[in-house]
Amino acid sequence: MIVVNCRFLSQKITGVQRFAIEICKQLKSIYPNVLFVAPFDIIHPEVAELLAIKIIGRFKGQIWEQFELPIFLDSLNNPILLNLTNTAPLLYNNNIVTIHDVAYLVYPNAYSKKFLLWYKFMVPKLLSKAKHVFTVSEFSKKEINKYYSTDLKRISVLYNAVNEEFQCHSYTGIINEKPYFLALSSLSERKNLISLFKAFNLVKETVDNLELLIIGDLSTNSFAQLDISEFINRKDIRFIGRVSDQKIIEYYSGALAFVFPSFYEGFGIPPLEAQACGCPVIVSKETSLPEIFLNSALYCNPHSIEDIASSMLKILNIEQRERLIESGNVNIKRFSWKESTLQLLKIIETVNS
């Protein structure tokens, strides 16, 4: 039997939680002997119902994961515990862990002190004890090996993919009155939003009738706060906040382009979602992104405001946009939640034999 740590159902959805949810959905449909467990404070009841979640314990958060979960597992004779979102119980010895990236080591100033201290303490211990380690790109696999000297043979890559709901719809002119560039981002330093804002200023010097829309939370306990006060009250830069998947699909479908100038990414799900919705993408040429997008994106230097702006201007060309839309449609077919889950099961079977 495989038990899956579903504490992520008590957390807001970012790329990490998206990965966990989609892998769990596939596990539920193709593997009969799996048990999904979670604390009581679930905020995604529809997913919990789909997975037939077993709620255990009286606590939540770290206390649940570090103490109540291992006690429960001991009562089941210590089955394999699959952990999909960077954390796992340190006191349990039959863990399989997923570490999505090591951005907190490369950009420590982007994270809150509390988050940073916990991850620096926890992750090396998990990696040293885990039966196996999953991550989401060859880039992240090399980074885990680089920073923690984890044997590459103990690390396997499971790519992210795109939910089938993400498809192109004709919303241009309905979702927003003016043509717009779109970004989906937290206020983490590594997402490079300030450079995007400044690049947009340069674009506006050439083409005035444009807006920049930002989807995502403006505050979080995990990241150090980014000062965006200079841009927050601009009429041509709109902060949409957190929205439903259906609304995100509408924004993707109507955008001139999706812009993702990150300094550091373990994978990068949002630009892949954008491609699935027929939206051309501009991505950073750093870290995992060339691995994921090959020749299907327009690349920019995230350290150069001028280069980000130049890429945004280039993508206004209709022929350029059509080429990127076509190549993006080809690129998304390289990724499948089902294939990643089948690979996961194959590796777990080998580890457990």
Could you read off the pLDDT of 79-99 as tens digits, one per residue? 999 999 999 999 999 999 999
**Residue 168 domain-assigned (yes or no):** no
Residue whose tokens read 């449609």? 329
Please indicate, yes or no, whether residues 71 and 197 belong to a single structural domain of this protein. no
Please indicate, yes or no, whether residues 153 and 185 belong to a single structural domain of this protein. no
What CATH number is associated with residue 35? 3.40.50.2000
Please give the pLDDT value at position 217.
79
**Residue 156 domain-assigned (yes or no):** yes
Please give the pLDDT value at position 109.
87
Please give the pLDDT value at position 94.
96
**Residue 167 domain-assigned (yes or no):** no
Structural domain span for residue 51: 2-161+336-351
Give 69's contacts (C-beta < 8 A, 6+ positions apart): 5, 7, 37, 56, 57, 81, 89, 92
| Ranges in the chain, pLDDT < 50 | 172-173
Edge-to-edge strands of the sheet including 95-98?
54-55, 34-38, 2-5, 80-83, 95-98, 132-135, 155-157
Please give the pLDDT value at position 257.
97
**Residue 171 domain-assigned (yes or no):** no
Query: How many domains in the chain?
Result: 2
**Residue 12 domain-assigned (yes or no):** yes
Please indicate, yes or no, whether residues 191 and 245 belong to a single structural domain of this protein. yes
Q: Tell me 261's DSSP state.
A: -
Please indicate, yes or no, whether residues 153 and 200 belong to a single structural domain of this protein. no
Please indicate, yes or no, whether residues 7 and 44 belong to a single structural domain of this protein. yes
Please indicate, yes or no, whether residues 220 and 325 belong to a single structural domain of this protein. yes
**Residue 143 domain-assigned (yes or no):** yes
Copy the structure tokens of residue 351.
């580890």
pLDDT tens readout for residues 14-73:
999 999 999 999 999 999 999 999 999 999 999 999 999 999 999 999 999 999 999 999
**Residue 169 domain-assigned (yes or no):** no
Give 287's contacts (C-beta < 8 A, 6+ positions apart): 139, 262, 263, 264, 265, 266
